[in-house]
Amino acid sequence: MPSARALLLLFACTVFSASMLSQQGESPATPPAPATQQAAPDSQPTGKAAQVEPGTAGTTPTIRTTSRIVILDTVVLDKQGNVVTGLKREDFHVEEEGAPQTLISFEPTNAHTPPPDAVINSTQELDRVAPRAPVNIILLDEFNTRFEDMAFARYSLKKYLQKQPERLTMPTMLIAVSLQNFTVVHDYTQDKEAILTALDKHLVSYPWQVHQGGWLAERYSTAFGTLLRIAEATEGHQGHKNMIWIGRGFPSLNFANVAVDAQVRVQNIVQECVNKLRDARVTLYTIDPAGVQVNPYNYGQAAGDFDPFGGNYEFNKLATATGGRTFYGRNDVDAEIGTSLRDGASFYTLVYRPTGAADNPRKFRRIKITFDNPDYKAVTRTGYYPRYGPYRVDPSKPNRRLAFDLGAANSSTMVYDGVPMTLQQDAANPDNFTVHLDAKGLNWTVATDTEPRRCEVIVMATSFDKKGKELQRIAKDIKVAAPTTVAPTGRLERAMDLKLTMPHDPKAVRARFVARVASTGRIGTADSPMNQPAQPTTSTSTNTHAATP
């Protein structure tokens, strides 16, 4: 597995051609193929944990599909820009590609606000205490924003937070991204002072690449990669995510000088970002901290003449496509942050099953919401791309997508909750771990005449030293068969316990475990201290498989 920086370059090569950007970087490397293990069918009755022995490789699982539905988190504004609450289902008229749609579900504003006595200071506590609560994700863009603008962004964020009550209404996470690091400055919390303290301790790296106008490939890949990894990390939380991106987003790029095949690759990654953010219920708000610019060419002539977000209209479109808004050309950045957070706490949730065929899977299907009152305006996602489904990869022939997914989850300190997982460290041998994957994150195939129901999971475990340097890594592709006693079709909720042994290294202080379900692409992570007294966590399930890779 290449380094995190090399993965970004690898991802950039997928999106952009060398002739397009004329950038030099590290040579992409192919990650080692995970070892493949096939678990034999469990002969024990359903409800009993069984030890599964490795066997021979099996066939590729069938992907389970369901009817597509569209979820719209919608903010309603009046003519003065004030939020409108108290509307009912019949007040909303939804169209997709001009065809009226029937709502099958409707939720008013503040339907899932955390309980007043809730204490949330981590992703785990959020998913346990308020699994459907809306949240805020504030991201500081430190890779495509000039140093002086980043300073103003931090000042504005602190100015806004200092005016808020000690206990924030919505759980809030703070992230900072540079070309070198993806840093969770503070996990979800409602403690205002905790976020302010973490912000004060965070040291900003100087973005010399922006000031010199170079490293375009890495800056583009960092932007797209950041959106994808946040969507993948948060898709396990059912609530709405309001993501406030404070920074420039993309560097300048003139599409008139771009080859057609490179334009297609850009459109493909934009399409994937839109769909990933949609599936994770992430609404993107972009705030330009440069304010009213004295010298608009600081970010390039194209940026100054045509677009406030670095010369590429796509970043603006990503925000509006996900249902958010863009703010630029103003010096009251703290007020812009407040507006973004206000919108995230005041949305209606509309759900419908689209009528009409989607003939072209690459055609953007436009959504329109109207009201009987002409003074009302809906702020919601403008549409979606109908192509849907996990980006399944062959672990025996790892491609760039698998490398990015695993590498991004491995190098981050952000908790991925797409597959809820817990660890239990062996007290007798602290290098041995039991990885428990919760049933609700797994996907089992349908049985055939020759094959039982199966679930395939790619698991990677990595140890790190006290400076965060990677020491040891193991990766395995594990296929587990359900017992023949379960129904061949239908919903199957069955957890999985995996036995893993980390290579011993006396310098290791932390281990990170990453699990990716092959048929859905959903990812879970868990961390454990190393070379310290064992910290066992209990986890029980009435339908559990145990496998020893």
- Report whether pLDDT(422) > 70: yes
Nearest to residue 388, comparing CAs of 275, 478, 501? 275
Does the structure show a pLDDT above 60 at 130?
Answer: yes
Q: Identify whether 5 is part of a domain.
A: no
Asked if 144 and 278 sit in the same domain, the reply is yes
Same domain, 366 and 487: no
**Please, which pLDDT band fits residue 60 given cuts at 50, 70 and 90?**
very low
Q: Does the residue 482 lie in any domain?
A: yes
Task: Name the residue among 369, 398, 395, 401 with its Cα closest to residue 382.
Answer: 369
Cβ atoms of 414 and 235 closer than 8 Å: no
Q: Please state, for a pLDDT cut of 90, what percent of the chain lies above it.
A: 45
Judged by average pLDDT, the poorest of 39-43, 290-294, 494-498 is 39-43
Q: What's the whole-number mean pLDDT along residues 108-130?
A: 89
| 410 and 365 within one domain | no
Q: Is the dihedral of CA 467, 472, 477, 478 positive or negative?
A: negative
Task: Judge if 247 and 368 occupy the same domain.
Answer: yes
Residues 6 or more apart whose CB falls under 8 angstroms from that of 96 comprise: 70, 352, 354, 355, 356, 365, 366, 367, 368, 383
Please give the C-alpha separations between residue 103 and each of 71, 344, 354, 494, in angstroms, as whole numbers.
Answer: 10, 21, 10, 32
The pLDDT assigned to 145 comes to 86
- Same domain for 83 and 181, yes or no, is yes
* pLDDT category of residue 95 using cuts at 50, 70 and 90: very high
Q: Supply 228's token pair.
A: 């994808």
What are the pLDDT digits (tens) for 367-410?
A: 999 999 999 999 998 888 776 444 455 555 556 778 888 888 99
pLDDT digits (tens, 9 = 90+) for 133-168: 999 999 999 988 888 888 999 999 999 999 999 999
Going by pLDDT thresholds of 50, 70 and 90, the confidence category of residue 65 is very low
Tell me the C-alpha distance between 415 and 117, whole Å: 24
CA–CA distance, 503 with 240 (Å, rounded to integer) = 39
Say which CATH number the domain at 172 has.
Answer: 3.40.50.410
Higher pLDDT, 49 or 262: 262
Alpha-carbon span 393 to 406, nearest angstrom? 12
Percent of the chain with pLDDT over 70: 73
The 10s digit of each residue's pLDDT in 280-317 is 999 998 888 876 554 544 555 444 443 333 434 456 67
The pLDDT, as a whole number, for residue 173 is: 97
- Are residues 396 and 315 both part of a single domain? no
Are 49 and 174 in the same domain? no
Q: Give the pLDDT mean for 199-216.
A: 82
Question: β-strands 454-464, 54-55: how paired?
Answer: unpaired
- Residue 294 has a CB neighbour count (10 Å cut-off) of 7
**In a shared domain, residues 406 and 441:** yes
Residues 48 and 127 in one domain: no
Q: Is residue 1 part of a domain?
A: no
Which H, E and C letters describe 284-313, residue by residue? EEEECCCCCCCCHHHHCHHHHHHCCCCCCH
Domain membership of residue 289 (yes or no) is yes
Report yes or no on 535 lying in a domain. yes
- The mean pLDDT value of the chain amounts to 78
Residue where one domain finishes, among candidates 360, 384, 408? 384
pLDDT tens for each residue of 444-495 = 999 988 889 999 999 999 999 998 899 999 999 999 999 888 899 998 999 9
Asked if residue 24 belongs to a domain, the reply is no
Neighbouring C-beta atoms of residue 25, cutoff 10 Å: 18
Distance CA 287, CA 290 (A): 9
pLDDT at 5: 46
Strands 135-141 vs 167-177: parallel, antiparallel or unpaired: parallel
Q: Tell me, yes or no, whether 194 and 287 share the same domain.
A: yes
Going 326 to 153 to 212 to 467, the CA torsion angle's sign is: negative
pLDDT of res. 307: 39
The pLDDT of residue 516 is above 60:
yes
Looking at the fold, whether 203 and 232 belong to one and the same domain comes out as yes
- Non-local (6+) Cβ contacts of 19 within 8 A are 259, 262
Number of domains in the chain: 2
- Reported as a pLDDT band with limits 50, 70 and 90, residue 84 is very high
CA 415 to chain centre: 10
CATH of residue 50's domain is 2.60.40.2150
| Residue-level pLDDT at 192 | 95
Residue 234 forms part of a structural domain: yes
Asked if 54 and 75 sit in the same domain, the reply is: no
Residue 199 pLDDT exceeds 90 = yes
- Identify whether 235 is part of a domain: yes
- What's the pLDDT tens digit per position in 4-35? 444 444 444 444 333 333 333 333 333 444 44
Domain final residue, candidates 341, 364, 384: 384
At which of 366, 384, 402 does a domain end?
384
511 pLDDT higher than 60? yes
- Which domain covers residue 538, as residue numbers? 31-64+392-547
Residue 183 reports pLDDT greater than 50: yes
**What's residue 341's pLDDT?**
84
